[in-house]
Amino acid sequence: MLFAPRSRRRLPAGPTALLLATVLAAALVLAGCASDPGQGDNTDPDQVDAVGAPELGACRLLTPQDVAAPSNATRTVDCSAQHTAETYAVGPLPHSLDDAGYDDRSVGAWAYDTCSSRFERFLGADESLVMRTIVSWAWFRPSQKAWDKGARWYRCDVVGGGDQSKAYVSLPKTAQGLLLGRPDDDWMVCAAGPSVTGSVKIPCSGPHDWRALTTIKLGETEDDYPGDRLVEVRTRDFCSASVGAALSYPVDYDFGYTWFHAAEWEAGNRRSVCWARTDS
């Protein structure tokens, strides 16, 4: 991915939709995690090698370290108490994956499609909107031991942070409908720093220098990856026009853009992200 700040003068009219987005890398990485660092002291022994599917709607105090593992047996907590994760989808894997290996990429690809689409519906948003929120999703499968016994289920959790988070923020009692209407800036992603490159991603409710302002869709599900150069050029040109339009075409403005490569394309991402410098 690339973050590239630019300054531009007044530009011709372009798209004006304010479709905000943030980095998708966390979800893409989670689809292929294969090493389990363990659950620490917050483990529920009954969940460790459970063959049966987990509970839908359960809440947990997950950490980024928990999310880095392929399976999870963290104790559940009351959703009215502090929690950083909520299970929004649970179910059996399709029979076509009955004979798949534990680390088979097809399992991760299926889970990615399933969790990402249900994530949108759960939060009450479209693809672009969910890409701009500071919350993300993680998916878990059974433990290796349970898998070997025939367990074939998945669990999708909404979590209060993303791939850059050192700790997760607490979620409301339920995150269902979190992005309906005009979402609160507490849940939207901005960046602090002189440029988008290497900046710290934070909620837009805090002081920030950049806001993810729009996205560009670069292809359909069945399309082949068009190549790095074409993706970058199309992203840059669109972001220049789109940010300019959103800012009512000032004489000078700064914008940045994030584009993704073939690996993310193969995992399902078809969008790039545009960022605008702000005065907040």
Range of the domain at 232: 1-20+188-280
Of the candidates 182, 213, 237, which is a domain's last residue? Answer: 182
* 16 and 29 co-located in one domain: no
Per residue in 77-136, pLDDT (tens digit) is 999 999 999 999 999 999 999 999 999 999 998 998 899 999 999 999 998 888 888 999
Query: How many helices, marked H, and strands, marked E, lie in the chain?
Result: 8, 12
pLDDT of res. 280 = 66
Rounded Cα distance between 61 and 189, Å, is: 22
Rounded Cα distance between 178 and 182, Å, is: 10
* 153 and 106 co-located in one domain: yes
Do residues 74 and 61 touch, judged by C-beta distance below 8 A?
A: yes
Of the candidates 145, 161, 182, which is a domain's last residue? Answer: 182
* 140 and 245 co-located in one domain: no
Of the candidates 182, 214, 242, which is a domain's last residue? Answer: 182
The total domain count for the chain is 2
Helix (H, G, I), strand (E, B) or coil at 23: coil
Average pLDDT over residues 180-197: 88
Rounded Cα distance between 126 and 103, Å, is: 30
* 31 and 131 co-located in one domain: yes
Do residues 22 and 162 touch, judged by C-beta distance below 8 A?
A: yes
Per residue in 155-169, pLDDT (tens digit) is 999 999 987 778 899
Rounded Cα distance between 178 and 189, Å, is: 14
* 45 and 174 co-located in one domain: yes
Residue 29 has pLDDT above 50, yes or no: no
Rounded Cα distance between 252 and 216, Å, is: 22
Do residues 280 and 208 touch, judged by C-beta distance below 8 A?
A: yes
* 164 and 249 co-located in one domain: no
Count Cβ atoms within 10 A of the Cβ of residue 69 and give its class: 0-12 exposed, 13-18 middle, 19 or more buried: buried
pLDDT of res. 162 = 83
* 68 and 160 co-located in one domain: yes
Q: State pTM to two decimals.
A: 0.78
Rounded Cα distance between 96 and 35, Å, is: 24
* 151 and 230 co-located in one domain: no
Query: Among 22-31, 226-235, 268-277, which is the least confidently predicted range?
Result: 22-31
